[in-house]
Amino acid sequence: MATFREARYSRVVDRGGHRLAEVEVFTGRTDDPQYLAYFSVCPNGDYRLDQVLVNDADTEVDWFDNSLHSAFSDVTPQIFSSPDHVGLLDHDEFTSQLLAHEGVKDALDQHLSTHNP
């Protein structure tokens, strides 16, 4: 899971009064082609990966943004705690790789930092 083809900043969302940066992650795999990774800012200014969602919608049937169902489901526990992953270490590695991907950390600095409400 720690490898992906592309990652790019999408937007800032508000979830329960918390600002999170949404990053689209394209794996290149046919079974889970796209994830949405959500980052928050820690008190020390670092970024923390809070949640990873996968799109369960069938694009042939649901080709538009349909808010009447929950196409995205939380897969954070599965991808970081499954038998083929080592948990926190894998989580940290995936987080580091996302933040190191071209433009992602710069976009988070610009849109999510505590200096930009």
Each residue of 93-111: pLDDT tens digit? 888 999 999 999 999 999 9
Model pTM? 0.76
Query: For residue 83, is it within any domain?
Result: yes
d(CA 109, CA 20): 12
Each residue of 76-98: pLDDT tens digit? 667 676 565 555 447 788 889 99
Query: For residue 117, is it within any domain?
Result: no
- Backbone phi, then psi, for 108, in 5-degree steps? -65, -40
Query: For residue 42, is it within any domain?
Result: yes
Query: For residue 26, is it within any domain?
Result: yes
Query: For residue 116, is it within any domain?
Result: no
Query: For residue 13, is it within any domain?
Result: yes
C-alpha distances in angstroms, 73 versus 55, 95, 98, 100? Answer: 7, 19, 20, 25
Q: Which residues contact 47 (CB under 8 A, 6 or more apart)?
A: 21, 39, 40, 41, 95, 99, 105, 108, 112
Query: For residue 90, is it within any domain?
Result: yes
> What is the extent of the structural domain holding 11?
6-58+66-111
What sign does the dihedral 102-34-11-65 (CA atoms) show? positive
Query: For residue 20, is it within any domain?
Result: yes
Number of domains in the chain: 1
d(CA 66, CA 101): 30
